[in-house]
Amino acid sequence: MRDAGAQLMLAQDRLHLTARAVHLCVDMQRLFSTDGPWPTPWMDRVLPRVCALAERYPERTVFTRFITPRRAEDMPGMWQIYYRRWAETTRERLDPALLALMPPLAALVPPASVFDKRVYSAFAGRRLRAHLVARGADTLIISGAETDVCVAATAVGAIDLGFRVIIVTDAVCSSSDQGHDSLLTLFEQRFTIQLQTADTESILSAWPKG
Q: What is the pLDDT of residues 96-106, one digit of tens each?
A: 999 999 999 99
d(CA 137, CA 92): 37
**pLDDT of 13 above 60:** no
**pLDDT of 2 above 60:** no
Residue 144 inside a domain? The answer is yes
User: Residue 209: what pLDDT?
Assistant: 80
d(CA 166, CA 17): 10
d(CA 75, CA 87): 13
Residue 120 inside a domain? The answer is yes
Residue 172 inside a domain? The answer is yes
Residue 137 inside a domain? The answer is yes
Vertex 140, ends 134 and 144: CA angle to 5°?
120
Residue 91 inside a domain? The answer is no
Per-residue pLDDT tens digits for 27-72: 999 999 999 999 999 999 999 999 999 999 999 999 999 999 999 9
Residue 83 inside a domain? The answer is no
Tell me the CATH number at 190.
3.40.50.850
d(CA 113, CA 154): 17
Residue 133 inside a domain? The answer is yes
User: Residue 15: what pLDDT?
Assistant: 87
Quote the number of domains for the chain: 1
Indicate whether this model's pTM tops 0.85.
yes
Residue 10 inside a domain? The answer is no
Residue range(s) defining the domain that contains residue 162: 16-67+97-206
User: Residue 208: what pLDDT?
Assistant: 82
